[in-house]
Amino acid sequence: MDSRFDFLILGGGIAGITAAETIRSRDAAASVAVVGAEPWRPYSRVALADVVTGDKSGPELELRPPGHWPARGIELVTGRRAVAVDADAHEVAFDDGSRLGYGKLLIATGARPRRLDVPGADLLLSADGQGAVAGAAEASSPAVHYLREMDDALRLKDALVGGEPVLVYGSGFVALEMAVAAHERGANVTVAMRGPDFFHREVSTAGREAIALELVTHGLEVKPGVMVVSLKTEDGYASAEFSDGSELAVRQVLVGLGLEANVDFLEESGLLVGGQLKADEEMRVAPDIYAAGDVAVFPDVLSGRAHARATWQDALLQGRAAALNMLGGHERLTSVTGHAVACFDLPIAFLGDSACPDAMNVERDYSDGSSVRLFFKDNRLVGATCVGKFVERTAATKLMTDRRPIPADRLAELADPAMPLASLLG
């Protein structure tokens, strides 16, 4: 064992650094280390699209100045990936052969993009398996791209050339961000998706129609209800074949098909349950081991279902709660959290558990063009989404926070937007 720390944190994202800073703010003497797999110091992952568009540089996304970590006695290690955890010995092994011991361990290793698994997709990856090689000399070489890390954003920025055709494949947050960013870089963007539209499980019918209209209005082509079945290179282009038999020649293929938790290194640890890193309500996985961020599966405070909440705000709050509990507390998450994305000038907001599979939903379409979908479980509001201005966000948040059941006859009336949500608070 090379060193031992009182608190060892795997992952340099917002969950990990929030945990480290929380521990240090309450324990000035404890030894604390944050070990991240990326070569970059902690940065704002939610702003990677700004790097793709060129609005910001990589260093501008750094969350703390370089001197922040030594000044607080936090050892920050970058470019080192955990490969195994020995829970009995309280040790973690890393890809450089080193081993670190711990008193308490936080696993906040995040998630990685789900790969496009079709013939030809791997052939269009660079030698490091990450996508196009950065650099202007190879900017027009066809490649498959993902957007999760800083290096992904820098490669994609170099690869996007104004006027060239680009395919974006996916129907969620990252796919939408990549489509908008590629358009802003001047690319001719076609968006293909397996489902009928963006966020078809979360957003109201009118809301999805508004998103599609916003894309088309900005000159993007939308190709719904198809799957990419193969990729091949022809004359400097990537030729995508779709499930409907059509083909499209593009310079770059941008893929946003969701995330997979970074838990492979835990396969022999005994910590995984059904392939997942499951934590209790206090973010505890096992004695002296905690989890936070995209990697953690734990009970949702609103719906009760166990799932990972892959948002910035959730990761921050989980990191703080895990840290307090590593220090001996009994902190539980109670806040109603949300996140947002923009489709050009159209805001899209998500609140609470807006993906609860067994929830009953009610749609409300307002005169200003905005549209809300509300999710109810056991007659309690557990989630909401809004496309457009979310004028009733405060009332929706309060209803979720109160956890009060709503009479069935009142639920039936909610489809009428003239009935204020606030009227259910009395």
Nearest to 106 by CA among 344, 285, 361, 347: 285
Q: Crossing angle of helices 312-326/14-26, nearest 10°?
A: 30
User: Where do we find the tokens 């907001």?
Assistant: 349
> pLDDT tens for residues 74-96?
999 999 999 999 999 999 999 99
Cβ-proximal residues to 67 (8 Å cutoff; 6+ apart), any chain: none
- Low-confidence stretches of the chain (pLDDT beneath 50): 126-139
* Bridge partners, 350 (sequence order): 339, 385
Phi, psi values for residue 35, rounded to 5°: -115, 120
404 and 373 Cβ atoms separated by less than 8 Å: no
Kindly report the number of other CB atoms within 10 A of residue 94's CB atom: 19
Cβ-proximal residues to 274 (8 Å cutoff; 6+ apart), any chain: none
Cβ-proximal residues to 346 (8 Å cutoff; 6+ apart), any chain: 210, 211, 214, 387, 388
Maximum C-alpha span of the chain: 67
Q: Which pLDDT score is estimated for 204?
A: 97
CA–CA separation, 222 vs 220, rounded Å? 6
Kindly report the number of other CB atoms within 10 A of residue 332's CB atom: 14
Tokens of residue 159, six digits: 């690869």
Q: What is the DSSP string of 15-38?
A: HHHHHHHHHHHH-SSS-EEEE-SS
Tokens of residue 168, six digits: 């974006």
Q: What is the pTM of this model?
A: 0.94
For 278: left if phi > 0, alpha if psi spans -120 to 50, otherwise beta; the answer is: beta
Sign of CA dihedral 82, 86, 91, 95: negative
Cβ-proximal residues to 282 (8 Å cutoff; 6+ apart), any chain: 321, 325, 330, 331, 332
CA–CA separation, 294 vs 318, rounded Å? 10
Q: For the chain, which domains are there?
A: 3-112+260-326 (3.50.50.60), 115-257 (3.50.50.60), 356-425 (3.30.390.30)
User: What is the rounded end-to-end Cα distance, in angstroms, of the chain?
Assistant: 60
User: Where do we find the tokens 């604390």?
Assistant: 32
Identify residue 43 by its one-letter amino acid code: Y
Q: Which pLDDT score is estimated for 13?
A: 97
Cβ-proximal residues to 280 (8 Å cutoff; 6+ apart), any chain: 298, 299
CA–CA separation, 383 vs 202, rounded Å? 9
> pLDDT tens for residues 297-307?
999 999 999 99
Cα-based angle 425, 311, 16 (whole degrees, multiple of 5): 125
218 and 186 Cβ atoms separated by less than 8 Å: no
Q: HEC profile for 375-403?
A: EEECCEEEEEEEECCCCCHHHHHHHHHHC
